[in-house]
Amino acid sequence: MENSNGSSEYGFILVGFSDRPKLELVLFIVNFILYTVAVLGNSTIILVCILDSRLHTPMYFFLANLSFLDLCFSTSCIPQMLVNLWGPDKTISYAGCVVQLFSFLSVGSIECILLAVMAYDRYAAVCKPLHYLVIMHPQLCLRLVAVAWGSGLVNAIVMSPLTMTLPRCGRLRINHFLCEMPALIKMACVDARAVEMLAFTFAILIVLLPLVLILLSYGYITAAVLKIKSAAGRWKAFNTCSSHLTVVSLFYGSIIYMYMQPGNSSSQDQGKFLTLFYNLVTPMLNPLIYTLRNKEVKGALKKVLGRQQ
């Protein structure tokens, strides 16, 4: 039995990579390993940021939030994808699809804005070092994180119902491995240009605007670093920001390509792999980037693991 908008009591069929059965087992193994690393890495970052008092600073408060979002981001769809890759069953319930879409939209949006907040934090640390703790006081940090969460939730609250209630005339096959907004919009049997344009408008506000703020912050940071006379001082300032800049490049590079195109004109296969990249590879790399390049985090890890001498 189908309801009015074209979903069934069994939900939807996630096509995923079923057109390439030989690839599914390889993807299952690779994605299972990457997801395990992502969960362990981000959980460890959160743990050390909570347990080590030396990391109770604005930078690590934001980093712990980023790790939590990465955990939610990957967990919103990777377990379901692994189930679908493992066996012949490719279905997802209607409720599961709604939860997945809402989680994906909200967490992705929150992370975009949080990365801009972290860029402002790095700007304050490099350009206003003597006033850093005054500028980035705990109340401001909480407010900035609240703005990020609030904005992301608004995006999901608006776009999720609009996307899910589009008439689909019995179409149940989602040509993706998750209930992603562009793939769901493409299934509509009515003109969905208004929904696409609203999604594009939200993308400008939630993706492009934070990116502009990030670029402005790093423009000021670059100018400040160039004024530092000593090579050691310049390297220290660069090292302070390099991890965050790497994470921003990985996340925004893929997500802008996917969502800042009206109608999502990229090829379907390319879209699947790009989604997999920013939904799994980036969350897996983020803890490694921050751990390998950060002496304070490595020191905290040693202390938590009982290896501090």
pLDDT (tens digit per residue) in 51-76: 888 888 898 899 899 999 999 888 88
What is each CA distance from 6 to 80, 162, 174, 180, 195, in whole angstroms?
22, 14, 12, 17, 17
> What's the pTM value of the predicted model, to 2 decimals?
0.84
Residue-wise pLDDT for 185-227, tens only, equals 888 888 888 988 998 898 888 888 998 999 898 888 888 888 8
Please compute Rg for the chain using Cα positions. 21
| CB-based contacts of 11, cutoff 8 Å, min separation 6 | 91, 92, 93, 94, 95, 96, 97, 172
Sheet bearing 173-174, strands edge to edge: 91-92, 12-14, 173-174
Query: Does 139 have pLDDT greater than 90?
Result: yes
- The pLDDT of residue 293 is 63
Q: Quick one: pLDDT at residue 3?
A: 46
Distances in Å between the Cα of 300 and the Cα atoms of 54, 56, 175 are 8, 11, 44
Who's near 169: CB < 8 A, 6+ residues apart? 6, 189
Fold of 11-290: Rhopdopsin 7-helix transmembrane proteins (1.20.1070)
Share above pLDDT 90 across residues of the chain, in percent, rounded to a whole number: 23
Provide the pLDDT confidence category of residue 126 given band limits of 50, 70 and 90: confident
Q: Which two tokens stand for residue 16?
A: 């995923």
CA neighbor of 78 nearest in space, from 28, 20, 44, 112: 28
Judge whether residue 280 has pLDDT over 50.
Answer: yes
pLDDT tops 50 at residue 265: no
